[in-house]
Chain A
Amino acid sequence: MLGVARRYARTLPEAEDILQDAFVKVFTHLTEFRAEGTLEGWIRRIVVTTAINHWQSGRLRRQTQGATLDDIPDPPATDSSAFDRLNVAEVLALMEKLPDGCRLVLMLYAVDGYSHREISELLNIQESTSKAQLSKARKQLQHLYLQQNNYIRL
């Protein structure tokens, strides 16, 4: 579960704080578990929700620090299977360069399997916004990957 928290956090201490708060919620609301799914899935959702709450609580602070990549032009076509050759640390390093909104939507949709409706409810945004954020996150991630490869080649 710390890995799940780490994907949504920018640093490991922040992920540990998220995990700690998430498990406090798990133990206090353990009686509400209705056994409709697996306990792991229930705890995972709690961790994800706690991570989003953490992000929402510190959103204003991050908006001043985060770099805006809205004006990034569309990257040239890249092979998507190229990400298979990257390890977790490299992918995390690429994703940490994404804006928070794009990163969260990409994580929720691509990795954790949330739908755009669920994402819109979690992040209090429109479904269209969620779709736009996802598309932008993919492009930016490919652009960042190309930038990294070109820097390595040079």
Chain B
Amino acid sequence: MMEEPEDDRLDQSLRDTFSDFDLPPSGHIWSGIEGHLSAMPGPPRKVPLLLLLPAVGLVGVAVGWLLPHPTEPTPNSQPAVTTQAPARPDPQPTKELTAYKAPQLPPASQPIHAVPVVSASPVAKRVRPVLAASVDRKASATAIPEPIDSATGIAATQPVVAEVPVVYTAPVATEPSPAQVVPSSQLENSALVTPPTEATNLRLRDTAGSAHSKYAAELPKQSFKNESLREWRPEYRVPKHRLEERGGRLRRIRNSITKHWQHLFGPRRAGQPAS
């Protein structure tokens, strides 16, 4: 029991002795430490998982965005008629439409004073759907390659819209101004020559009289032909009652396999050998 304070005193004297003991390290110790540290391989890089997961998500979204998406045809936006009908090469009506030439009028005893190019309001109302149809036709024509003329290298059938002049669908003026009136004698070489509609044909028929009856008889046929090409195209209805069965190919295959299975191993066939 008496030794414990003596031991504590010894420990305390040793602690006091070494408390101020300090030795300055020499320079070669630090060079040795640097050599050891440089020889050791660096610590492995930790993968930042918090950044990696959003990066993977972004890459996935980007890849999904860039992949080609199959465009499903909607029945309202693009009917099957518009893609099918112009596919047939029918150069003759387009030639008539594009390279329309006003037929030469025979010299009349009474010259026609003026033929208003700008049609009346009921005519304009009828023309607008024709234009819309031509725009649709242009849109469909972009998807279908057109036959190219070997001699000229230009597409044989040009878009109809290019040939339809603006004046043809301009707002109707009640009284045609002199600038807008084109004499019928200049119709042949004029750039504003437009295919006449039925209203204009009727007016021509009235103004030209009997001398132009032959010409007047031709015009309705041509205009009817053009309109019949544009407006009376056959429209095929998309069968909506079959839409629900789309994508059920696996189901149909499974049903057919089931039917064959029942046919082969059904109770009738299985019962036959027994009976």
Interface residues of A (CB under 8 A from B): 1-3, 6-7, 12, 15-16, 19-20, 23-24, 27-28, 80-81, 83-84, 86-88, 91, 106, 109-111, 138, 141-142
Residues on A with beta carbons closer than 8 Å to the beta carbon of B9: 80-81
Residues on A with beta carbons closer than 8 Å to the beta carbon of B20: 88
Contact, CB under 8 Å: B15 / A110: yes
**What is the bound-complex CA distance between A88 and B21, given in angstroms?**
7
Contact, CB under 8 Å: A6 / B23: yes
**Nearest A residue to B13 by beta-carbon distance?**
A83
Q: Which of B18, B26, B33 contacts A88 (CB 8 A)?
A: B18
Contact, CB under 8 Å: B21 / A7: yes
Residues on A with beta carbons closer than 8 Å to the beta carbon of B6: 80
Q: Which of B10, B18, B24 contacts A2 (CB 8 A)?
A: B24
| Chain B 1-31 interface residues, beta-carbon cutoff 8 Å to A | 6-7, 9-11, 13-18, 20-26, 29
**Nearest A residue to B14 by beta-carbon distance?**
A110
**Nearest B residue to A106 by beta-carbon distance?**
B14
Contact, CB under 8 Å: A109 / B11: yes
Contact, CB under 8 Å: A87 / B23: no
Q: Can you list 25 A-B contacts with CB-CB less than 8 angstroms, sorted by A residue number?
A: A1-B25, A2-B22, A2-B23, A3-B23, A12-B23, A16-B25, A19-B25, A19-B29, A20-B32, A20-B36, A23-B33, A27-B33, A80-B13, A81-B9, A83-B17, A88-B17, A88-B18, A91-B14, A91-B18, A109-B11, A110-B10, A110-B15, A111-B11, A111-B18, A138-B10
Instruction: Say yes or no for B52: interface residue by CB 8 A criterion.
Output: no
Q: Which of A6, A12, A24, A138 contacts B33 (CB 8 A)?
A: A24
Inter-chain contact total with CB atoms closer than 8 Å: 72
**Nearest B residue to A12 by beta-carbon distance?**
B23
Residue-wise, chain B 152-172 has the 8 Å CB interface mask toward A (1 for contact) of 000000000000000000000
Q: Which of B10, B33, B37 contacts A83 (CB 8 A)?
A: B10
**What is the bound-complex CA distance between A141 and B24, given in angstroms?**
27
Residues on B with beta carbons closer than 8 Å to the beta carbon of A19: 25, 29
Q: Which of B18, B32, B33 contacts A7 (CB 8 A)?
A: B18
Q: Which of B14, B24, B25, B33 contacts A111 (CB 8 A)?
A: B14
Residues on B with beta carbons closer than 8 Å to the beta carbon of A86: 17
**Nearest B residue to A141 by beta-carbon distance?**
B10
Q: Which of B7, B11, B14, B22 has the most CB of A within 10 A?
A: B14
Contact, CB under 8 Å: A81 / B21: no
Instruction: Say yes or no for B40: interface residue by CB 8 A criterion.
Output: yes
Contact, CB under 8 Å: A138 / B37: no
Residues on B with beta carbons closer than 8 Å to the beta carbon of A2: 22-25, 29
Residues on B with beta carbons closer than 8 Å to the beta carbon of A109: 11
Residues on B with beta carbons closer than 8 Å to the beta carbon of A20: 29, 32-33, 36
**What is the bound-complex CA distance between A110 and B11, given in angstroms?**
5
**What is the bound-complex CA distance between A141 and B18, given in angstroms?**
16
Contact, CB under 8 Å: B18 / A24: no
Min CB–CB distance A47 → chain B (angstroms): 12
**Nearest B residue to A135 by beta-carbon distance?**
B7
Contact, CB under 8 Å: A91 / B36: no
**What is the bound-complex CA distance between A117 and B29, given in angstroms?**
33
Contact, CB under 8 Å: B37 / A24: yes
**What is the bound-complex CA distance between A145 and B157, given in angstroms?**
123
Contact, CB under 8 Å: A84 / B40: no
Q: A16-B29, A19-B29, A20-B33 are in contact. Are A80 and B18 (CB under 8 A)?
A: no
